Amino acid sequence: MPERTSKLTTMADAARLVPDGARIALGGFAVYQHPMAFVHELIRQKRRELTVVGVVNGNETDLLAGAGCLKRIESSYVGLEKHGLAPNFRRMVEEGTLEMVDYPEILSMDRFRASQENFGFWPAYFLGGNDLLRVNPEIKEFECPLTGRRVWAVPPAAPDVVVIHAIAGDEYGNIMAPTRRLTPQSLDLVLAKSCDTVIVTVEKIVPTETLRRSPHLVEIPSYRTTAVVEAPWGSHPNAVLGEYTGDDEHMEHYAQCAKEGGDSFSGYLDRYVYGVADHREYLERIGLQKFFELRKVEVGQ
């Protein structure tokens, strides 16, 4: 039996798997469970001309946009939910320096299913009369050869790299997901099946024996994973369901800096991204007391 190869690596080496100009899908949903530590490292490495393809995007995409990493976004939404609009995203789209390609939320997820099944498109039957067809010429109308019904072909997501954040995994890339989960975690599993290059940051690396005792929790097997990185609190300031709540104070601070732009946003980047060498220094800058407060997750959350 061949010896297994560890896929455990550093955040810096994992980020080097994303070339300039790549189509990248970042896990999570709105303000939940995005791989923020990985996003910070992409910015530190000055990645450029990326396309984010997603479903419901949040501060991870707005941060990349403000740092000059993006040329295009394909999604149904980019925003900060109760913290308001995504200021960098909105400003750059209005200025014409960032391209936004709109898709409905459900079809945005279906696009990843198309990639998972290696389909050339995903059929949609409910777009008639929708203004989306006017602003997104990449969706093509055709006639169903079996029923004669009008159908629209939606292109697959086709990500070059998928990056998600999970609760735990082993060094070989077997990744755990809770059996009771909400949309962010379910979406991550769809993303992980849609691409050959899958990078997973995890709250903790656990022994393989731990996974063998609960094999039903391994939703992403090692052969689907390209690299795994241990990153405790790796989604901050977003929440990780069942682990910690979102840091509302930090999100409000981010939203204000992004809204003001200019020196205010540059100051945010200098303090929390460029001004720290890695994720460990970022955690030190946030402070241990803050993480103790966020760990107070209510039962059932």
Please tell me the predicted confidence (pLDDT) of residue 300. 43
Number of Cβ within 10 Å of residue 128's Cβ equals 10
Domain end residue (candidates: 129, 154, 179): 154
**167 and 252 housed in the same domain:** yes
CATH number of the domain enclosing 205:
3.40.1080.10
Any domain includes 166: yes
Residues 179 and 263 grouped into a single domain: yes
pLDDT for residue 299: 41
Backbone φ and ψ of 163, nearest 5°: -130, 125
Q: Quote the pLDDT of residue 3.
A: 76
Q: Give, to the nearest 10 degrees, the angle between helix 87-95 and helix 59-66.
A: 50
Residues 95 and 192 in one domain: yes
Predicted local distance difference test score (pLDDT) of residue 130: 80
Residue burial 10-22, b: 16+ Cβ < 10 Å; e: rest: ebeebbebbeeeb
Is 94 in the same domain as 138? no
Pair (26, 171) in one structural domain? yes
Q: How many domains does the chain have?
A: 2
193 and 207 inside one domain:
yes
**In terms of domains, do 164 and 228 share one?**
yes
229 and 275 in one domain? yes
What pLDDT score was predicted for residue 2? Answer: 62
In one-letter notation, the amino acid at residue 80 is: L
- Domain limits for position 34: 11-102+158-294
223 with 92, same domain: the answer is yes
pLDDT tens over the chain, length 301 residues: 567 899 999 999 999 999 999 999 999 999 999 999 999 999 999 999 999 999 999 999 999 999 999 999 999 999 999 999 999 999 999 999 999 999 999 999 999 999 999 999 999 998 877 888 889 999 999 999 999 999 999 999 999 999 999 999 999 999 998 877 878 788 999 999 999 999 999 999 999 999 999 999 999 999 999 999 999 999 999 999 889 999 999 999 999 999 999 999 999 999 999 999 999 999 999 999 999 999 865 544 4
Give the per-residue pLDDT at 301: 41
**Same domain as 86, residue 22:** yes
Q: Is residue 137 situated within a structural domain?
A: yes
> Is 219 contained in some domain?
yes
Q: Is residue 115 part of a domain?
A: no
Please indicate, yes or no, whether residues 37 and 167 belong to a single structural domain of this protein. Answer: yes
Indicate whether 31 and 162 sit together in one domain.
yes
Q: Is 110 inside a domain boundary?
A: no
